Amino acid sequence: MFVPVNEPLLNGNEKKYLNECIETGWVSAEGAFISKFEDGMSKLTKRKYAITVTSGTVALEVAVRALNFEKGSEIIMPDFTIISCAQAIVRAGCVPVLVDCDPDTWNMNINQIEAKITNKTAAIMAVHIYGITVDMKPLIEIAEKYNLKVIEDAAEVIGQKIYNEPAGSFGDVSCFSFYSNKHVTTGEGGMIVCNDEKLAQRCKDLKNYCFAPERRFMHYELGHSYMMSNLQAAVGFAQLEKLEEHIIKKRYIGKKYQELLKDLSHKIILPLEKTSYCKNIYWVFGIVLKDNAGMNAQECAEKLRKLGVGTRPFFWPMHEQPVFINEGMFKGEKYPISENIARMGFYIPSGLTLDDEKINYVSQKIHEVLN
Kindly list the residues in this chain that would bind ligand PLP in the complex (CB under 6 A): 55-57, 82, 84, 127, 153, 155-156, 177, 179, 190
Q: Taking the complex as a whole, how short is the minimal distance between the CB of residue 57 and ligand PLP, in angstroms?
A: 3
Q: How far apart are CA 59 and CA 220, in angstroms?
A: 22
Neighbours of 214 (CB within 10 A): 6
Q: Taking the complex as a whole, how short is the minimal distance between the CB of residue 1 and ligand PLP, in angstroms?
A: 27
**Residues 6+ positions from 337 with CB-CB distance below 8 Å:** 80, 100, 101, 102, 103, 109
Helix segments in the chain, DSSP class H: 14-24, 32-45, 56-66, 83-91, 136-145, 197-207, 230-241, 243-261, 297-306, 322-325, 336-344, 356-370
Q: Taking the complex as a whole, how short is the minimal distance between the CB of residue 105 and ligand PLP, in angstroms?
A: 14
If the CB atoms of residues 56 and 271 are measured against ligand PLP, the closer one turns out to be 56
Q: How far apart are CA 123 and CA 142, in angstroms?
A: 10
Q: Taking the complex as a whole, how short is the minimal distance between the CB of residue 107 and ligand PLP, in angstroms?
A: 11
If the CB atoms of residues 129 and 293 are measured against ligand PLP, the closer one turns out to be 129
If the CB atoms of residues 31 and 190 are measured against ligand PLP, the closer one turns out to be 190
If the CB atoms of residues 73 and 174 are measured against ligand PLP, the closer one turns out to be 174
If the CB atoms of residues 352 and 366 are measured against ligand PLP, the closer one turns out to be 352
- Comparing every residue's Cβ against ligand PLP, the nearest one is 56
List C-alpha distances in Å: 245 to 12, 50, 114. 11, 23, 39
Q: How far apart are CA 170 and CA 100, in angstroms?
A: 21
If the CB atoms of residues 191 and 297 are measured against ligand PLP, the closer one turns out to be 191
Q: How far apart are CA 8 and CA 302, in angstroms?
A: 23
**Nearest alpha-carbon partner for 78 in 337, 311, 326, 268:** 337
E strand or H helix at 313? strand 312-313
Q: Taking the complex as a whole, how short is the minimal distance between the CB of residue 172 and ligand PLP, in angstroms?
A: 17
Q: Taking the complex as a whole, how short is the minimal distance between the CB of residue 330 and ligand PLP, in angstroms?
A: 19
What's the DSSP call for residue 11? -
Q: Identity (one letter) of the amino acid at 330?
A: F
Neighbours of 232 (CB within 10 A): 25
If the CB atoms of residues 143 and 175 are measured against ligand PLP, the closer one turns out to be 175
Q: What angle do CA 198, 165, 317 make, to 5 degrees?
A: 80
If the CB atoms of residues 26 and 283 are measured against ligand PLP, the closer one turns out to be 283
Q: Taking the complex as a whole, how short is the minimal distance between the CB of residue 164 and ligand PLP, in angstroms?
A: 22
Q: Taking the complex as a whole, how short is the minimal distance between the CB of residue 288 and ligand PLP, in angstroms?
A: 18
Q: Taking the complex as a whole, how short is the minimal distance between the CB of residue 131 and ligand PLP, in angstroms?
A: 11
If the CB atoms of residues 44 and 167 are measured against ligand PLP, the closer one turns out to be 167
